[in-house]
Structure 1
Amino acid sequence: MSAPGGAEIAGLWAAAWPERAPHPRGLEARLGDPSGWVWRRGPAGELTAFAAFRPPEAYGHGHLRLILVHPGARGQGLGRTLVTGVRERLGPLPLAVGEERGHFLPGAPEPSVGFFERVGFVRSGRVSVDMVADLRPPLPAAALPAGLRLTDAREEGILPGVLALTEGVFSARWTHDAAAVARQAPQQLLALADGSRVLGFALVGTEDDPAVLPSFLFPAALRAAARTSGPAGGLGPVGLHPDLRGSGVGRALMLTAMGRLKARGVEAMGIDWTDLAPFYERLGFRTWARHVHLRG
């Protein structure tokens, strides 16, 4: 049974989940190769079901990255068949839904949780949200404290400083994602610096930029959530050195990054995979999608 091509997978996604259509380049960049896929075809050879997975990365579990079943083929057990196929390929390892580097989704979309529970997944107790802000209204004034400046990874020495910060304070996933974006589009990795010392960072971009970030992987859905037809963009992950937390610098960093995206014409700005909703709500964001973290 021949492996599906990218156009076939995109077509299946459009049929299975049209309200969350992905950015074409973002989908292509995340699919990986067929060694991480399980799929099924119908009687005429048409692609009816598809799943993508990844072995353990920085954690002790594999990742069920994506699962799609054509509406005309639902109710036939294909979803369960795909999950079984992924488990057979990965062996006796626990699986997380999403949560991988360069992810499609951080977890299971809330409406799909019942399916995952029926095929053996259980809730981990964590729920994260995707948020959106309409950047058309004026933004609050923001200024970085004296001595701090915002630069990007095109400046010599900045990328090693960001990676040292992510490795020392944050997660292996953030280190991977920051390095991957810097290789492709160093201007999309912003850094907060005090002289040569990096104290914070943020990945940013618009849907026209080279690196399609998870925060705006679904531009049409972002536009709908922000009630605009204008350009989409996003930010994240974003991190600040612990010494600066609670000082107002994080808010200033966010507003400065938001201002840069607004100046580039972005109207619908996304942030994905966060459990800091109250902080972002104070900056004008609101939740538009919820994801339940599962293990199985």
Structure 2
Amino acid sequence: MAEKQNKEQSLIDAQIRELDESDQEFESLWQMWQTVFPDWPIERQRLEKMIHQMPGNHLIHEHGFCLSFLQNGVLGMISAVGVLPDHRRKGLGTALVHRAHEVLKKAAKDSGEQELQSLEVGSWAPRFWPQMPINMSQEVKDFFSHCGFKRSPDLGPRDLFKDIRNDDVVPADVLEKVAKTNIIYRPWSPELYEECLEKQRANFNWWKGYEILAQYGQHAQALVAIDPDTNAQVGWTFMCSPDAIISDMYAFLPLSPTKEKTGSISAVGIDPNFRGKGVGLGLVARAMENMKERGIEGIMVDSTWLRGFYEKLGFKAQWEYERWAWEDAKQ
């Protein structure tokens, strides 16, 4: 019996291969995704863009797949593992995760002779789920537990949503507070590029997104807060419409209540010297108004740990997440 199981496992391992960029391969991947994750459908074009735009380490089998990314050179992210229903509990899912682990360890070393520090469920760029959705089935959680992952007891991030089709886009009390601040808010533009990138690199890890917007001439998909006394930039946020290049990086924006007319606010950053002065609240409020003017009907706030801040603006939790990690990923 054991010999038979070993042969079957060896055959599964031999049939796992790296995902190539052929149309046939992507069609197979997309069809399996729709079957495995019926509650989280993705348009094929969006899935293809997400995989092409960011280098990843993806595996495919006739009956399953594993999408993974190496981030910051040392963090392995298992973005999605899928096995067709009739082929579960036969070792394929476990084999895909173990192979992805080995591929990510090699990628970490190749990126600069570093060791993989941890292996987590989720992904940041591109974004499928930032961590494990708390409403994912117990079967899925049991699978990752079996693979050696552990759930963190700490609060995880949430995706928030607000429908802005009504007239009261921003609550009146918030607008009153924003009006009292001595800050100018204006869409990002090419002449603001150098200062913006310098400060983004110094303070935040999402500066690459500003480079991408600039490359596509989409500066106006971000908002900047300016101190009128010094004319210095002191705050920034993405305020992306559905057709922004950055929106292509989010798998599930169209699953929001406003579907294809959903935009996103993310990467809200405030200069350390201006925190606690209402700049962040003003930045998000003005971004919401700008997005309403552009015809956006709903706004997703992407993956935030903050509790209470966005609720002041009328946002409510749409999806919640919890961290699952394999801390001994070096082994």
Give TM-score, length-normalised by structure 2.
0.75
Q: d(CA) in 2 for partners of 1:201 and 1:35?
A: 28
Deviations 1:145-171 (A, max 9, x none): 33523221x331x2232222222222x
Cα 1:18–1:29 shift into 2, 3 Å: same
SS in 1 for 2:323: strand
| Residue of 64, 81, 96 corresponding to 1:67 | 81
Looking at structure 1, the residues matched to 313 and 55 of structure 2 have their Cα atoms a distance apart, in angstroms, of: 41
Which of 273, 278, 287 in structure 2 is aligned with 1:243?
273
More strand by share: 1
State the match for 1:271 in structure 2: 301
Q: Choose the corresponding residue for 2:69, options 54, 65, 68.
A: 54
Structure 1 pair 182–96 and aligned structure 2 pair: CA distance change class (3 A): farther
The residue aligned with 1:199 is: 234
Query: Quick one: percent identity of the two aligned structures?
Result: 26
Could you tell me how far 1:23 is from its partner in structure 2? 5.2
Amino acid at match of 2:156: V
Q: Kindly tell me: are residues 113 and 240 of structure 1, through their superposed partners in 2, closer, same or farther at Cα, counting changes over 3 Å? A: farther
- TM score, norm. by length of structure 1: 0.83
Q: What corresponds to 1:10 in structure 2?
A: 30
Once the two structures are superposed, the pairs formed by residues 126-205 of structure 1 within 5 Å of their partners are 126-137=155-166, 138-139=168-169, 140-141=171-172, 142=175, 143=178, 145-152=181-188, 154-156=189-191, 158-170=192-204, 172=205, 174-184=206-216, 185-194=218-227, 196-205=231-240
CA distance in 2: counterparts of 1:88 and 1:133, whole angstroms: 41
SS at match of 2:243: coil
Name the CA shift for 1:147/1:250 in 2 (closer, same or farther; >3 Å).
closer
- The residue that corresponds to 2:141 in the other structure is 113
Matched-pair contact (CA < 8 Å) for 1:54–1:65: yes
Report whether the alignment pairs 1:40 with 2:61. yes
- Structure 2 match to 1:81: 95
Distance in 2 of aligned mates of 1:161 and 1:113 = 44
Note the aligned Cα RMSD (angstroms).
2.6
- Between stretches 260-269 and 27-36, larger displacement belongs to 27-36
Gaps of at least 5 residues in structure 1 are 42-47
Cα displacement (A) at 1:286: 0.9
Secondary structure of the residue aligned to 1:76 is coil
SS in 1 for 2:292: helix
- C-alpha separation between the residues in 1 aligned to 2:200 and 2:184? 19
Distance in 1 of aligned mates of 2:31 and 2:242: 20
Decide whether aligned partners of structure 1 residues 62 and 149 sit closer, same or farther in structure 2, where only a CA change above 3 A counts.
same
The answer on whether the counterparts of 1:129 and 1:277 sit within 8 Å (CA) in structure 2 is: no
Q: Which residue of 1 aligns with 2:8?
A: none
Structure 2 residue ranges without an equivalent (≥5): 1-16, 106-114, 327-331
Deviation at 1:11, TM superposition (A): 2.2
Structure 1 residue 191, shift from structure 2 partner: 1.9
Q: 8 Å contact 2:94–2:147 — kept in the other structure?
A: yes
Of the two, which has the highest radius of gyration? 2
Cα separation, partners in 2 of 1:89 and 1:8, compared to 1, 3 Å: same
Aligned residues: 280
- 8 Å CA contact 1:277, 1:287 repeated in 2: no
Structure 2 residue 41 is matched with structure 1 residue 21: yes
SS at match of 1:113: helix
